[in-house]
Chains A and B, each alone.
Chain A
Amino acid sequence: MWKLFHQFGSPPHFYRLAGHLIPWFGGAALVLILIATYGGLVLAPADYQQGDGFRIIYVHVPSASMSLFAYTLMAVAAGTGLIWRIKLAHAVAAAVAPIGASFTFLALATGSIWGKPMWGTWWAWDARLTSELILLFLFLGYMSLRAAYDDTGKADRASGLLAVVGVVNVPIIHYSVVWWNSLHQGATIVKLGKPAITGDMLWPLLMMLAGFGCYFATVLMIRTRSQVLQRERNSRWLLDL
């Protein structure tokens, strides 16, 4: 068991393994996303209240889920790197950040676009959107802190600390935002109206989520390999590539 862990933590091993896996995950991502898109745009019936506008859900919800998953993964990787001093873990954390930030941005943008026809404004302080906004700042803060340090080791540890403290905070932030939103007693119901989602509407969503997940894995592996190339550029094993 330890041997497996050890192998996993070894950069050359990961580099080679990832190299083999990338095309498979990439291919799976493409297929899943395409089928899910077809399912969501063509096969799923239009919603009773929102008509065809609800179809944005097929990109909005998976993006939001991925963004949250990314932050958690980033914090877990950083924590692993801090506790067990596994360099590869730090490389993974550094690689996840831009991917997570992109998904957060996408969640915000698609949420905003969805909101326009539903509420009439380009932005509304809906609980999910507000949480995603704060999450975006958490990602940007992490990436800025990393960039501010010249020394990679210090950058890893400092940003790792930030990520670990942040991940503890994320549930608190989310709960507080939901509570804050629920106190609103205005005339309009400020909630990204998710239609009651059933069978025909559900499977494209799940498949899109799976597709996004495979995509995430693909880009993560590419970026981590980049990180490894950068961090290990003076190592023997690299020169033998």
Chain B
Amino acid sequence: MKNKLEKINVKAVLTIATAALLSTSNPVLANSTKVDTDSSNVSEEGSWDFDSAFLFYSEVDRVSAGEVIINAQKTFANDEILNLKLTVDALTGASANGAVAQPNVQTFTRPSGNGQYTIEAGETPLDDTFHDTRVQLNGQWTQPIAPNYTASGGVHLSKEYDYLSLGINGNIAFDFDRKNSTFSAGFSYFQDTFTPEGGIPNAFSSMLIGDSSSASWDDNFSQTRIDADDTKTTTDILLGFTQVINRRMITQFNYSYSTVDGYLNDPFKVISVVNSETGLTQDNIYESRPDSRVKQSVYAQSLYHFDSSVLDVSYRYMWDDWEITSHTIDSRFRIPLGDSFGKESYLQPHFRFYQQSAAEFYQPFLIDGSALPNYASADYRIGEMTAFTVGLKYGLLVDNGHELSFRLEYYHQAPEDAGFDTPGELKDIELYPTIDAIIAQVTYSF
């Protein structure tokens, strides 16, 4: 039988033993962060989470756009998630119409046929007719359908003055190996209808220049048009594989296959036919692209968590049957600032590099007298180009733990000479002007 002194020691010994057991710092506490419903364990019906953002995009001397997104998400009892998104954007300003700059003043007809506009000598022809507002609605439903299987399906609707897009998507994901690995397969299908003002132009027909108020104008103009509208369908297949590498690192690999069929021309763009010796424009004709395009891409992304900062790097390689290939490297580095610059604030520098090769039928202009190719387009967006983006994002918590963030970025596009001979006067003209744009965004989540 123990003596009284030994018996009292049980409580004391236990007190010391308990203190030793509970003394170590808890890893969970050191990494406590703001929680939102994307990763929260809490599933509560009847509570919506919102993200709202306003973006301003502006190119020097060219297009400006404002875009507003409101995203609402609600989680239901069995890990079912409904996501609704409303996007409204408005575009204004001038875009290149594809014609080549000249040492003299040029006149072009607006896409609607109502009116002309003139371009100064030496300037890249820009059409400033565009002010358009677009409204887009998305709905997405995600739910587990079996242990380790998650399915998702959604709809898309986008409407602007001259364009309607309807789409659906579906996706299944399968988790295995302690949810360290995930395979996913998805598809999407879009049906778009284009009803450009002025109708669909006859490919390779000349842009009619004249006086749009004259009596015969309407007749002559409509002869350059073939239809009021046209359609295109886009079908995408996406295969993905996600793998947790270790406690600090996760990676993802995707393969995607996309086929677009239908009207793929830009009805507002022309290509100049220039004299082979002087380089002076003889005619501007509407561009012509194939009626199908098959794109494939492979994409790899990696996230690495250092002691407190996180690095996100991704690479995408795209190739298609228009002979365009592109490389995209995108990287973000998130640096937490603690509470010194705002509650749970952070800075996130961003750098993106992009390079593409020209489409097989891309030409900055056509030579008068040469045989007309099957397809031709002078749209610099399918020409050879290098671009980069540098930006910085700053975020913090305000009010009751809601997140507010600001993002400012600089986007620089440098179209490149894909090796075309420049005849005559064109040698003295800047045929591949760079485009600089500012991107500014404010986001508030509540």
User: Are both chains from one complex?
Assistant: no
